[in-house]
Structure formats: C-alpha cells, structure tokens
Structure 1
Amino acid sequence: MDEMYVKPGNQERGWNDPPQFSYGLQTARTPQKNLLNKRPTLPGCAPAWKATPPEGAAGRIGGVEDPGQSEAEPNLEDVVEVLERVLARCRVDVAPQVCNDMEKRLRLFEDSWTSGRLSLPVRRRMSALSQELQAGHWDQADEIHRSLMVDYVTEVSQWMVGVKRLIAESRGPKP
C-alpha cells in the first residue's frame, strides 16, 4: 500500500536528491517560474535522465497499479450506498449526534461530487476507499483517507472529517 502513492522520480534530480512522494501534488499550482538553477545540456545530446518510461508503465507507480489510473469513471451511487450502509451499522453503537454529523458531512461529499467540484483522482480514491470499507480493510481505507487529505486538501477538507470518523467508528473499539 505504501508504494501506491509514490510518484515516479523527478526527471531533473541531482545525485543526492531524496525520492519524491505524491504528498506535494496539488491541483492548484502556482505558475512555474524561470528557474536559474536548471542544468544545461549540450545541443544534440539527450540526457540519460530524460529516457521515456518502458511500455505499459503508464498508470503504474513503483510497479503497482495506481488506483487513480486503473479504472474508469466511478459511480457516485455505489460509493454513497456503501458509505450509508457503514453509517447505518454505526448508528447501533455510536451516539446520535456523532452519526448526524457524519451524515451531514457525507451529504457535503455527495453535493461536491454532483456539482463537479471533485477531480477525477479524488472520485476514484473515494471509490477505492468505499470498497476497502465494504471489505473491512480499515487500515487501507485509512491510508487512502490520509493520502486524500494530504494531496487534495482543498477539495476534501469540508467533508473528509466525517469520512475519517466513519472509518474509525466502523472499525469498532480498539483491543
């Protein structure tokens, strides 16, 4: 699961640059400035670090399929159905005020999706998160939640707290 969110290496890396993780990815980027520290290349010479990726590597990260690239447009009804089913199970043991807050935030999520405010990678990761919740894989769902909070904070900040609480409450009491 850790390798899923590591993006391919920077094409302009120095010999001692650390690996880059996707946590720096944001949809809103500042315009790129004219960098004065670019490495010059000789005319007619293609640098070795600009090699094209091997065939079939598109959509793969670190040898593992990227969940954001592996499937077509996710279905909102499927995702919401799973989340509502998990919420219904939580209503048995969790305080009504907490459940109502989770439900309100899930409605914000649904409204964001239907109004087109969610990017395709966010929709795909939420689909993957709902599948992990449905399967009872809380650690994987929590990892997807964490990556969404880090990579797409501006898109998910209003409703992701409810999803986080839903994951925690559906997991049940810690042993």
Structure 2
Amino acid sequence: MEDMYVKPGNQERGWNDPPQFSYGLQIAHGPQRNLLNKRPPPALTSAGPPPGAVATPPPPHLGQMRTKREAAISQSESEPEVENVMSVLNGALAACRRAVKAQVCNDVAKRLHLMEDSWRSGRLSLPVRRRMDTLSAELQKGHWDAADDIHRSLMVDHVTEVSQWMVGVKRLIAETRNLSPELLEPFQKVRGRVEDSADPVQEPVKEPGELQDSLQLVQKEEEPDSAEPVQNPVSES
C-alpha cells in the first residue's frame, strides 16, 4: 500500500499549509468537504483520572504505524527489473507500429528511452519503479483502465520524476487499447512464452513397483526370441 500516504504541505507558502494526500488516498476517501455552516463541538474539560486509576499510555501515532508497515513491505518485495518493464513497453510499441503513424511511435520511443535512462541512472525512486512494473504487467494483460489509473497516480504523486516521459506512456496505453486482437496476440504472449521455456521439463517419478516392471519389460525385449520346442505326439499303445 505504498500509494496510501500523506505528504507534508508546501513549506514555501507557510507553516499552516494543508497536507497533500496521495492519489490512492484521494480515490479511497473521496474529495474533502469543509462544512462551514456546522458549529464546532464544545471543548471537553477533564479533571484528570480519579485517584488510584492507572493511566494508560497513548496509542502510537498512525503515521508511525504506517511508516513501519511500509518499510516492512518495501523490504519483503523484490526490486523490479528495468529489462522486464522495457521488454513489455517495447513489445507494445512494436505492435503499435503496424497500425499507428510512424511519427507518433517515434515520439513514444523517445519518451521510453528517457524513462529507461532515468531508471538506469538511479533518478527514479523505488515507488515509481514498482508502479511502472505493475503498469507494464497490467498493460500486457489488457487491463487498460488499471494501467491508465497507475499512470494518473504517478502524475499526481511523483510528477517531478515522471513529467518528461509519462506522456509517452499515456499515449502508448491509449494506442495499444485501440489495436485489433490480431495485433495484440503476439504482444500478450511474449512473457508467457519466456516463463514457460524457463521451467525445465521433469519426468514423472515412478514408484518402485513400476520401475521394476519397466526393467523386466526392457530385459524381455532385449532377449532373442527362442523357438518353442517341438514335442512329438505321444503314440497310443
């Protein structure tokens, strides 16, 4: 849930600038509304706990709990590979070149090159790399709305990192969505063929009884056929 967080306000404007909610929190909770005609509740006064009562410690801050949970998730998840992401994006671009204008495809290719260069040079943060890995997976599965939603979340939460090349990813999603099934089929099967070829083919393990029967069958096939002895008929006395 690394897309669920609250960023601090713009410190250049003032100390009381409101915080900025991530794209995930905005979608989950909806727009914030200020009810100006609602009277605030009266302040509660407390004389403190009664004599002899045991004071309970305050609960941990919600932000600290979220930070620890996000740190645990970050450590458990593997680092996304730029080769896997680029292979999917370039595969989608190759499919688009058969139906989309060359000028559009060349511009998308230039944007993808900028993204790859930023990734390899270490200018992309881990949340951006992980979301791009998820976006490429959704794109290859044909989940256009999910891929487009990830694109919007990156533009909202990490616009400084992605502004130079995200317009190319957006155009790639839109053009790939409009391709015919015949053009999409080779692109969507690329990752499946790679994963299938990586798995070694294993022979089924035979039980000891089946193994012994197989050895006996092999030995019987290797023995030369022996002619059956001819028996003289028994003459009746």
Q: TM over 0.5: same fold?
A: yes
Aligned partners of 1:170 and 1:70: how far apart in 2? 33
* Residue number in structure 1 paired with 2:168: 162
Distance in 1 between the 2:61 and 2:173 partners?
A: 42
Structure 1: gaps of 5 or more residues: 11-19, 26-41, 61-65
- Report what 1:148 is aligned to: 154
Contact 1:59 1:70 in 2 (8 A): no
Percent of matched pairs sharing the same residue: 61
Residue by residue, what CA displacement relative to the aligned partner does 1:114-142 show, whole Å, maximum 9, x if unpaired?
Answer: 11100011000000000000111010000
Does 1 or 2 have the higher relative contact order (CA < 8 Å, sep 6+)?
1
Deviation, structure 1 residue 24: 9.8
- Any idea what SS the aligned residue of 1:112 has? helix
**Aligned-residue CA RMSD in angstroms?**
3.5
Greater gyration radius: 2
Q: Is the 8 A contact 2:131 2:150 kept in 1?
A: yes
Kindly report which structure 2 residues correspond to 1:35-114, keeping only aligned pairs within 5 A, or say none.
46-48=57-59, 50=61, 53=65, 58-59=69-70, 71-114=77-120
Change (3 A) 1:165 1:153: same
Structure with the largest fraction of helix: 2
Q: Distance in 1 between matches of 2:106 and 2:59?
A: 56
The answer to whether residue 122 in structure 2 is matched with residue 124 in structure 1 is: no
**Rounded Cα–Cα distance in structure 2 between residues aligned with 1:147 and 1:50:** 26
Structure 2 CA distance for aligned equivalents of residues 23 and 69 of structure 1: 23
Structure 1 length-normalised TM: 0.66
- Taking structure 1 as reference, are residues 121 and 77 closer, same or farther at Cα in structure 2, changes over 3 Å only? same
**TM norm structure 2:** 0.50
Q: Distance between the aligned counterparts of 2:161 and 2:61, measured in 1?
A: 33
Misfit runs of 4+, over 4 Å: 51-54
Give CA deviations for 1:21-65 in whole Å, capped at 9, x if unaligned. 41499xxxxxxxxxxxxxxxx9x87444736759xx9249xxxxx
- What is the number of residues matched between the two proteins? 137
* Deviation larger for 45-54 or 140-149: 45-54
